[in-house]
Structure 1
């Protein structure tokens, strides 16, 4: 690992001792978490703390229309929330220790949908999608909460290809590493939607697909929560930490 050295002076009882500070020059990967519709950053905090423990800088945040701004929810569109996501990404990148070429985005449900589109607007090396939702391209600027649930449910049961959907087109263009996590008993995001996403990642460097047995969409069961945390942490360790160890070995 490359290091930065800085000469210093240590004063002890009127005597100056020469010393040298050595610190790694390597910058740190960043991880952006995007929660689902109706959720908040609280969903991501435990997993963010775990991944921060791997040596990453993590950012969680509340989308507009949620938590402190919940009063705006009936007016917020997908366009509004995408701008929130871009602003959060840019905030993460402003951290002085961030390696701008090593950014991971973890999105859950609606957040996973937004994460894929973000990857066409900002550099993303790793993309983790937990029960990613899928929406029609139409009515993009309408309040998200006003979209027909019945129509969405029917849409998610159909086969959708990248040329028919903005998010799936983003998946097709993505060349980094991907994790897709499915819940076995998800009544909102059916297996057909997961397969639409999976099939779209034609150019991905790697694709990992895991199913959390017995889990519902919101991971209401504590065992399911722990299972998802373990899946995400293991994948992040393999991809993010593994890439850095491999790079350091090559540099050496």
Structure 2
């Protein structure tokens, strides 16, 4: 026999009020609008940037690369064919060091380059000296290869805590996350990747995609994503362009 919990309207309302109060106390309450989540930081310390507050139809396409050499070329081809000049790539420094020709192509195309750290591990598991060492090593390698010191960082696996954010901030970095995850890393099918991005994209959005070899369908989905967003009136900006002079949306961190 199946059993079901039954709650009255008053009991549900009272439970929701209690839950919201507890979340406010924990500093992790957010207000949710159409495709937008606004999180209220628990303090004024460094915070990761997920998107920006703007009415302008502008989004940032971002691509993480940590390994492989087969997917980046086709993605760069598509961006060139579609005339997309403003894109941000977050490069893992070991990958960049072993693929200088591909990095050169990204630089020559004028795309923005951010750091994706050195070891592809969760930095929240490191002590502060290790966090600093990982950021510094990636910093030195990327500057040597690209000729420019990066000032944006997206940590491996999107993992960080307050210590990681503070160290990155002290080293002159802005930590960049995303509001829309294409889920291309799951290889769910080209149509699902397209629908995920196009349906969720909103003004000021930072969109996460990948150009590593493990993501086998990104280059197949990208042309339609670009065309669909253009049809909706969106412009493509680098992350730096998007966040420059604009109120950013952040999330609280424990």
TM over 0.5: no
More strand by share: 1
**Higher radius of gyration, 1 or 2:** 1
Structure 1-normalised TM-score?
Answer: 0.29
TM-score (norm 2): 0.29
Question: Which fold has the larger relative contact order, with Cα–Cα distance below 8 Å and residues 6 or more apart in sequence?
Answer: 2
